[in-house]
């Protein structure tokens, strides 16, 4: 194993009073040699991936992000998260409702993320190039009161038929227009999920615990 890895591991063991089994050390060496991550420091962060998902789209993105993160890590629905204490970085995923975060999302982001490092991932039925998405994503950022938002990812997710029917029958012309222009069938696809994994790696690389 590289002397750089050994030195870093010894430093972490002293500072955090932890030990690492051989499989983790082997994984560290593999990542270092492949340069998947810019620093092996990411191997010793504790990371949480939490998501809110009504139709499964955001869960798929959460699982892709989780797969790209080295251990130690956890993944769970937002409803099971009582605190972000103890995590160096938390990836938080939410679907878009009515052009922004819904009330449960606002409640979570408004009370649980202050002074915590988070990365947001958002799903929506519109293609990513739609200009209006910038304002929609900003609403999620604004809802994360007092958080250190280190990254934001968004991607298209398939709209369920119940939602499309509701939108088509809505008195809101924006909802009707969005439903009529829907191109979300089959999303997030393999390409978008790969983009989510890349986002996870890039976020881990630039984040300094």
Read off the tokens for 34.
């492949």
Helix (H, G, I), strand (E, B) or coil at 200: helix
H/E stretch holding 191: helix 190-206
> With pLDDT > 70 as the criterion, what percentage of the chain qualifies?
79
Q: Please report, for the chain, the start and end positions of each structural domain, with discontinuous segments joined by +.
A: 1-44, 45-206
Mean pLDDT of 125-142: 94
DSSP string covering 157-177: -PPPHHHHHHHHT-S-HHHHH
Mean pLDDT of 113-125: 97
Q: Which residue has the tokens 């202050």?
A: 114
DSSP string covering 43-85: GGS-EEEEE--SSSHHHHHHHHHHHHSPSSEEEEEGGG----T
Work out the pLDDT band at 163, boundaries 50, 70, 90.
Answer: confident
Mean pLDDT of 183-190: 96
H/E stretch holding 94: strand 89-95
The CATH number given to 45-206 is 3.40.50.360
Residue that wins the pLDDT comparison between 126 and 8: 126
Looking at residue 70, its pLDDT comes to 82
């Amino acid at each position: 194993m590289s002397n750089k890895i050994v030195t870093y591991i010894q430093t972490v063991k002293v500072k955090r009073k932890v030990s690492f089994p051989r499989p983790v050390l082997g994984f560290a060496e593999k990542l270092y040699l492949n340069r998947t991550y810019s620093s092996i420091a990411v191997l010793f962060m504790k990371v949480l991936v939490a998501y809110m998902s009504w139709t499964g789209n955001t869960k798929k993105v959460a699982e892709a992000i989780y797969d790209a993160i080295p251990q130690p890590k956890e993944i769970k629905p937002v409803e099971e998260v009582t605190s972000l204490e103890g995590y160096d970085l938390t990836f938080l995923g939410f679907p878009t409702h009515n052009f922004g975060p819904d009330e449960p999302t606002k409640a979570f982001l408004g009370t649980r993320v202050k002074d915590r490092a988070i990365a947001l991932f958002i799903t929506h039925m519109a293609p990513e190039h739609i200009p209006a998405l910038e304002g929609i994503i900003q609403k999620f950022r604004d809802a994360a009161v007092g958080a250190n938002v280190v990254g934001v990812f968004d991607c298209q997710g398939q709209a369920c038929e119940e939602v499309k029917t509701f939108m088509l029958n809505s008195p809101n012309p924006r909802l009707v227009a969005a439903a009529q222009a829907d191109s979300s069938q089959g999303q997030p696809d393999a390409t978008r999920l790969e983009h989510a994994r890349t986002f996870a790696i890039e976020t881990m690389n630039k984040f300094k615990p």
